[in-house]
Amino acid sequence: MPLHPARVKFLTQAQTAQFFSVITDRRESALFATIYHYGLRVTEATLLQLEDVDLIHRRITVHRLKGGYGGERPLLTNTAQVIQAYLPARLPTGSALFTGRQGNLHRQRIQQLFKRYARSAGLDPTYTVHSLRHSIGTHLLDAGFGIEFVRDHLGHVNIQNTLIYAQLTNRRREGIYQQIEESEEIVKV
C-alpha cells in the first residue's frame, strides 16, 4: 500500500545536518550515516553484517525487507570514511556490522539512540529513525536525481511508494517551473 503524504515525516537538509552535528560516537555516526545514505529501514540496518562492507572495493551489500530490491551497491566515500573510523572501535560481541556491549545492536536500541540525538539537535520529537529513510528519498529528488533512481535506491518494488517523495518536495517542483520559464520550447504568450 502506498504511503500517504501526511504520514511521511522527513528532515530538511538543514535538520539532517543538525542531527549529524550532535553525534560524537563513531559507531552511531557510522550507523546513522549508513541508514541515511542508503535509505535503510531500522531492521535492515540490523541485518548488515561485517562482511557486507568491502572498504577495498568500495561496495556494500544491502538486505531489503518487504520484498524490496537489495543487493550490492557502491559504497559512498563519506559512508566509507565513517565506517572505517568506527571499525577499530567495533566490539567483537556479534556478527553484525553494528554491535554493542551485549552483541548485535537491536531495533529498539537504534531507535533510542536516534531519539537521544534528535532531542540534542532540537528536532521535533515525532521524528523517528524511519524519517532518515524518507529524508534521503526527498533529498535525492531535491538534488535532481530521477524518480527511477530513487525507487531503485530505496529498494521499492512499487513505484507508487516512491512517488510520494515527488509530492513532498517543493524545491524540485520550483526547479522544474524555473526550467519551464527558461525554456525556449515553451511558447511565451
List domains and CATH numbers for the chain: 11-182 (1.10.443.10)
Nearest of 135, 118, 136 to residue 127 by alpha carbon: 118
Catalytic, 115? Answer no
Catalytic, 156? Answer yes
Quick check: 63 and 47 in contact, CB under 8 A?
Answer: yes
Tell me which of 27, 37, 41, 151 is the catalytic residue.
Answer: 41
Band the pLDDT of 4: cuts 50, 70, 90.
low
* R_g (Cα) of the chain, nearest Å: 18
Catalytic, 130? Answer yes
Catalytic, 41? Answer yes
Residue 12 has pLDDT above 80, yes or no: yes
Residue 69 has pLDDT above 90, yes or no: no
Looking at residue 5, what is its pLDDT? 52
Looking at residue 153, what is its pLDDT? 95
SS3 122: coil
Looking at residue 3, what is its pLDDT? 55
pLDDT higher at 7 or 150: 150
Catalytic, 173? Answer no
Looking at residue 100, what is its pLDDT? 96
Strongest mean pLDDT among 6-10, 82-86, 152-156: 82-86
d(CA 122, CA 99): 27
Tell me which of 27, 130, 151, 172 is the catalytic residue.
Answer: 130
Looking at residue 66, what is its pLDDT? 84
Grid cell, residue 178, equals 524555473
Tell me which of 133, 151, 153, 172 is the catalytic residue.
Answer: 133
- For 22-52, write each residue's pLDDT tens digit: 999 999 999 999 999 999 999 999 999 999 9
